[in-house]
Amino acid sequence: MASIISNYEQHTEDTSRESKRKKRRRIDTVNQNQSNQNNNNQNQIRWRSEAEQRTYSSKLVEALRHVRRRNPTPAPVSGSRAVREAADKALAIAAKGRTRWSRAILTNRRKLRLKSHKKAKVRSKLPLPPVTGSSRLLGENEQQQKLPPLEKRVKVLGRLVPGCRKLSFPNLLEEATDYIAALQMQVRTMAALAEILAGSNPGSSSGSMEIDSPSS
């Protein structure tokens, strides 16, 4: 009789413990689904709100003013490159370092500044033979030709998104989605600024336009 009661109590305890485990798993699953849904909603909203576009517009205007003060009469090619770099830098700053691509843009700009400071020292050194670079590129091309079609597309996507060459595929998709949305906002903002500048300076050329703050 005592053994039957003991077995019943043991069975009841095991059943209760298993029930608690299942309940915890259900709660964890619900929390994870809610977290994923919140992240998806945040990604859908990100870079599409008017507040974010106004914030980026102000940062872009300040960056363009800095470019204009630094190069009052730039050449067409260097001027367009400077505008593009200023727009990308403002976009990376607007991202507040929350993404890998934004951190890569800012880091790359710092590296370019350091490289420009050391240009005199680099010129004094003997140049590397061109065969090394070409052979490395040939090796990379041969490796890419051996990859399956899907992996080739992933490699290309990793090169297009700054700082994402070595990311896993899910992380790469997340970064690419955010980067594309940010670029779309950049295009909308620059188009709006171009309309404002064209309206305020109808008789001026693009090279002599003054950059003012965008109207809200």
Would you state the pLDDT for residue 100? 95
What tokens were used for 74? 């730039």
- Rounded Cα–Cα distance for residues 171 and 191 (Å): 30
Is 172 within 8 Å of 109 (Cβ atoms)?
Answer: no
Structure confidence by residue, pLDDT tens digits, 128-165: 555 455 555 555 566 666 778 889 999 999 999 999 99
How many residues make up the chain in this entry?
A: 216
Structure confidence by residue, pLDDT tens digits, 83-107: 899 999 999 999 988 999 999 999 9
Is 53 within 8 Å of 188 (Cβ atoms)?
Answer: yes
> Mean pLDDT of successive 10-residue segments in the chain (216 residues)?
59 70 72 58 70 90 88 76 90 92 88 61 54 54 73 92 93 95 94 86 51 50
Q: How many C-beta atoms surround the C-beta of residue 177 within 10 A?
A: 14
Would you state the pLDDT for residue 206? 43
- Where in the chain are the domains? 104-114+150-198
- Rounded Cα–Cα distance for residues 178 and 95 (Å): 10
- Rounded Cα–Cα distance for residues 175 and 157 (Å): 10
Is 185 within 8 Å of 47 (Cβ atoms)?
Answer: yes
Would you state the pLDDT for residue 41? 53
Q: Could you please report the per-residue DSSP string of the chain?
A: -HHHHHHHHHHHHHHHHHHHHHHHHHHHHHHHHHHHHHHHHHHHHTT-SHHHHHHHHHHHHHHHHHHHHH-SS--HHHHHHHHHHHHHHHHHHHTTT-SHHHHHHHHHHHHHHHHHHTHHHHHHSPPPPHHHHHHHHHHHHHHHHHS-HHHHHHHHHHHHSTT-TT--HHHHHHHHHHHHHHHHHHHHHHHHHHHHHHHH-TTS-GGG----PPP-
Would you state the pLDDT for residue 33? 59
Would you state the pLDDT for residue 97? 87
- Rounded Cα–Cα distance for residues 54 and 214 (Å): 8
Would you state the pLDDT for residue 160? 95
Q: How many C-beta atoms surround the C-beta of residue 55 within 10 A?
A: 15
Would you state the pLDDT for residue 207? 44
- Rounded Cα–Cα distance for residues 56 and 188 (Å): 11
Would you state the pLDDT for residue 175? 96
Would you state the pLDDT for residue 208? 43
